[in-house]
C-alpha cells in the first residue's frame, strides 16, 4: 500500500482550528474534540489546542503570521513534533508552515487517511484506502522535489527535480488507474453477491462513527464482528441474516415471522469533514446504503452532541442520494442514561414507529428492534412488474430512484421491469404516466 506519513507511537501533537463566520465557537470546539480523538486513535498524544478567529483565511499560512510564530514558540516549549490542522490545507500552505515552524504539519484529511490505512484489513478496504491516499497526495508531490528544482532549474533549463517530479506523477497516475480497475473488478463481484440477495429484504446500518453499530449488528445477527471503542474500528461492510436469541425474542421462542428473509449489512461510520476522495473510493462499500430497502440510523443518544451527529449523517446520506429512504431511527446506549429517563424513552418508542431505543451492549430492546424490522419488511415493502411502453424511456431514471430493478426484459411494445421497493413509492410510479402498467406480485 502507498504509505502516507504516519504518526509514530505517542507522537506529540498540537491541534489548530480556525473560526470563520458564520461558524460558532461551540461548533469549532466540538470539531477539535473529535480531531483529538482522531489523533489518539492514530497513536498520538495531544499536548495543546490553538484556536484563531479570522474573517478570512490566510492564503500563505492558513492562519495569521503572528499565530504561526505563537505556535512555533508553543511547540518548542511543549516538545511537540507534529501540528494537526482541523481543515484541509493546500500543498503550498503545508510547505510554508513546515518551513516556518520547522515541524511536521498535516491536516484532518491526512490524519483520517492514516487511520484508514492502519485499519484496512480486507483486500477491498486496502485498495479503497490506497486509491484515496494517492488521489490526495498527487497534487502534493511538488513538496518532495522543490529543493531540487531550486537547485538545478532555471531559465532555459529543465532541472532534474522537475524531471523526477513528472516521473513520479506518471507513476502515481498509472497506479491510480490500476487501483480503479481493481475496484471495478471488486464492484462486479459485489454486484454478483447482491444479485444473489435480490429475493431478500436488505437492511443497512448507518450512523456516526463509534455509536455502537457493530455491537448492534452482532446482537441482531448473532455474529462476532470486531468491536472496539475507537473511531473507525471497522472499515469493511459485513452482511448476515437477521437472527435473534431466544432470550431476547419478543415471543420468547427466538422465531421471527415466517415468510420473511432479512439480511443486515454493517457499514463504515461517518464523521465530520470526511475526505471526498475517501467517500469516492469507498463507493462499492457505500452502495450498500443506496441499495437498502430499510436504513437503521444508529445514534449514540448518550453523546452530548448526538443531534449534530444526526445532521452530519443526513448530509452524507444526501450525498449518496439516500436521504429519502425508509429509515428507522435507532437510539443506542440508553444504558448510559439515568434510569428514569431511559424508562420514559422506552415508553415513547412504543408510541412512535419511526424510532426505537436500545442498548446493544446490554442486549436491551433488540427483540423489539428485530420485530420492527420484520413488520416493516412484511407490511411496507412490495414487488411488482412494471410495463413501460415505447416512448416513456425518459421515466426510467425516476423509476430506478424509487425502487430496486431486479430484472429487465425488452419486448416488442416496450420494456418489462421487475421492481422492488417501498409500497407507497411503487404507487407513485403508477401515477407518473397513463402509459405505465404496474402489477403487484406481493400483497
Average pLDDT over residues 186-192: 75
What average pLDDT does the structure give for the chain?
A: 79
pTM, to two decimals: 0.68
Identify the CATH class of 381-440: alpha beta
Strands in 82-85's sheet, in edge-to-edge order, are 44-53, 11-19, 82-85, 104-107
Query: Tens of pLDDT along 2-59?
Result: 444 554 457 899 999 999 999 888 889 988 988 998 898 888 999 999 999 999 999 9
Strands in 355-357's sheet, in edge-to-edge order, are 238-241, 262-266, 201-207, 294-300, 327-332, 355-357
Q: Which residues neighbour 26 within 8 Å (Cβ) at sequence distance 6 or greater?
A: none
Identical topology for domains 197-379 and 381-440? no
Domain range list for the chain: 11-117, 120-192, 197-379, 381-440
Higher-confidence residue: 217 or 278?
217
13: burial class by Cβ within 10 Å (0-12, 13-18, 19+)?
A: buried
Choose among 130, 101, 108: nearest CA to 117.
Answer: 130
Q: What is the CB neighbour count within 10 angstroms for residue 259?
A: 8
Asked if the peptide bond before residue 22 counts as cis, ω within 30 degrees of 0, the response is yes
The CATH code of domain 11-117 reads: 3.40.50.11060
Weakest mean pLDDT among 31-35, 46-50, 152-156, 290-294: 152-156
Higher-confidence residue: 407 or 159?
407
CATH superfamily of 197-379: P-loop containing nucleotide triphosphate hydrolases (3.40.50.300)
Cell digits for 281?
473510493
Q: Which residues neighbour 154 within 8 Å (Cβ) at sequence distance 6 or greater?
A: none
Q: What is the CB neighbour count within 10 angstroms for residue 177?
A: 10
Amino acid at each position: 500500500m502507498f504509505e502516507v506519513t504516519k504518526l509514530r507511537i505517542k507522537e506529540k501533537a498540537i491541534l489548530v482550528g480556525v473560526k470563520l463566520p458564520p461558524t460558532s465557537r461551540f461548533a469549532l470546539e466540538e470539531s477539535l474534540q473529535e480531531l483529538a480523538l482522531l489523533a489518539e486513535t492514530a497513536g498520538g498524544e495531544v499536548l495543546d489546542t490553538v484556536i484563531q478567529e479570522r474573517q478570512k483565511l490566510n492564503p500563505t499560512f492558513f492562519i495569521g503570521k503572528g499565530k504561526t510564530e505563537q505556535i512555533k514558540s508553543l511547540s518548542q516549549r511543549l516538545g511537540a513534533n507534529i501540528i494537526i490542522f482541523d481543515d484541509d490545507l493546500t500543498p503550498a500552505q503545508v510547505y510554508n508552515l513546515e518551513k516556518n515552524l520547522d515541524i511536521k504539519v498535516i491536516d484532518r484529511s491526512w490524519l483520517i487517511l492514516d487511520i484508514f490505512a492502519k485499519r484496512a484489513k480486507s483486500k477491498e478496504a486496502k485498495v479503497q484506502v490506497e486509491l484515496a491516499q494517492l488521489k490526495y497526495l498527487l497534487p502534493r508531490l511538488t513538496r518532495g522535489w522543490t529543493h531540487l528544482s531550486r537547485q538545478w532549474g532555471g531559465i532555459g533549463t529543465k532541472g532534474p527535480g522537475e524531471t523526477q517530479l513528472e516521473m513520479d506523477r506518471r507513476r502515481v497516475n498509472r497506479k491510480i488507474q490500476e487501483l480503479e480497475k481493481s475496484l471495478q473488478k471488486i464492484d462486479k463481484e459485489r454486484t454478483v453477491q447482491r444479485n444473489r440477495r435480490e429475493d431478500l429484504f436488505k437492511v443497512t446500518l448507518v450512523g456516526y462513527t463509534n455509536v455502537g453499530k457493530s455491537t448492534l449488528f452482532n446482537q441482531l445477527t448473532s455474529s462476532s464482528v470486531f468491536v472496539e471503542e475507537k473511531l473507525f474500528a471497522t472499515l469493511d461492510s459485513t452482511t448476515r441474516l437477521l437472527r435473534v436469541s431466544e432470550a431476547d425474542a419478543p415471543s420468547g421462542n427466538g422465531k421471527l415471522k415466517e415468510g420473511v428473509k432479512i439480511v443486515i449489512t454493517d457499514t463504515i461510520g461517518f464523521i465530520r469533514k470526511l475526505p471526498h476522495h475517501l467517500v469516492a473510493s469507498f463507493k462499492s462499500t457505500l452502495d450498500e446504503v443506496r441499495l437498502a430497502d430499510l436504513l437503521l440510523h444508529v445514534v449514540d443518544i448518550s453523546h452530548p452532541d448526538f443531534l449534530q451527529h444526526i445532521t452530519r449523517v443526513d448530509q452524507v446520506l444526501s450525498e449518496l442520494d439516500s436521504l429519502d429512504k425508509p429509515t428507522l431511527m435507532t437510539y443506542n446506549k440508553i444504558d448510559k442514561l439515568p434510569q428514569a429517563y431511559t424508562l420514559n424513552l422506552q415508553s415513547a418508542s412504543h408510541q412512535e414507529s419511526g424510532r426505537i431505543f436500545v442498548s446493544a451492549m446490554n442486549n436491551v430492546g433488540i427483540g423489539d428492534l428485530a420485530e420492527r424490522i420484520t413488520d416493516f419488511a412484511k407490511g411496507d415493502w412490495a414487488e411488482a412488474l412494471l410495463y413501460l411502453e415505447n416512448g416513456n424511456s425518459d421515466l426510467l431514471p425516476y423509476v430506478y430512484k424509487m425502487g430496486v430493478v431486479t430484472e429487465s426484459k425488452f419486448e416488442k411494445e416496450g420494456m418489462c421491469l421487475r421492481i422492488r421497493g417501498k409500497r407507497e413509492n411503487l404507487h407513485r410510479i403508477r401515477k407518473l404516466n397513463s402509459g405505465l402498467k404496474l402489477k403487484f406480485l406481493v400483497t
